[in-house]
Structure 1
C-alpha cells in the first residue's frame, strides 16, 4: 500500500507542477501583451488592467479599420468618377482635334485660291456696298459704277507673270467671236 500512496503523492506533485507551469506561461503571455499594448512602459502585473487595455485597443483598432474601409470606398468611387471624366475629356479632345483638322483644311482650301483672283469686297463686307446698288438709287447710264475698294488705276502691273502669260490661251480657252 505504501506504493499506492507514493503514486498518489507523485501524481499530486506533478499536477501542481503542471499547474505552476501553466500559470507561469499565462503570466508570461500577459506580460508580453502588456508590452505590446504600451511598448514604452514597464509591463503591468495586474491582469484585469491588461485585459481592459487590450479590449480598449481592440475597439480602437476596429474603429480605425472601419474608418479606413470607408475611406477606401470613397477613394474607389472617386477613382471611378475620375476615370469617367478622363474618358469624357479624351473624347472631347478627339472631337476638338477633328474639328481643328477640318478648320485647317478649310483654311488651306481658302488660301489656295487661284493666283490673280481677288474676290469682290462685298463678299467680305456687305456693308461696304456703294449706294449705287440700292434699288431706289440708279447710277447714270453713261458712267461705270465706281467701287471704292478698287482704285481707278490699272492693276495689271501687280499681277504675277504666270497669270499674265497669254501664250497658252489658244489651247486653254475657246476662241471668242
Structure 2
C-alpha cells in the first residue's frame, strides 16, 4: 500500500480516534509505511460544522493526489465539506465514506447544520480520483438509502455489507479487514 503518503481518518458523532476500527486501520497502514492522521474532532457530543472544518484546516497540510480521506458517518460530510472548500486547488487520491450521508438524517436532527449548505459534487467528482462508499444493510443510524444517494451524487463505487450495523465497536468493528482490503486494492 505504499503509493500513498497520507491517509486522514475523520471520526463521527459521539466518537473519538480511539473508537471502533480507527486505531486498527492506522496500524495496518503504518505497517505499510503510510502516514495516518486521525484528528480529534471538537466536541463530538455537540458538534458544530464550523469547528470541525476549522479543525481539519488547522491540522491537515494541503492534500494532493497521494492523499486519501476516510470518513465515518458524520466524518463523511465533514470530509466532503472540507474538500469542497479547497476549490480549484483540489486534487485528491481518494475518499472512502463509511455510512456516509449528505442530507439531513431523521435519526439525528441535531446534526442538520452539517447538511444545511449544499456541497459542490461537480467539483468533488472532478477532483477526487477514487470515490468509494460503504454501507451496511441494517444500519439504523444512517439508513442505507442515504449512502446510496451519496454514492449517486459522487458517482462513487458502492460496497454493501449485510448485518454490519453502523460499523461501530458495539457492532463488532474493532477491526475492519474489508475496508483495509478495499483501500489496498485501490492503491495498487
TM-score (norm. length: structure 2): 0.17
Larger Rg: 1
When normalised by structure 1's length, the TM-score is 0.17
Q: Quick check: which one's helix share is greater?
A: 1
Quick check: which one's strand share is greater? 2
Higher RCO structure, 1 or 2 (CA under 8 Å, sep 6+): 2
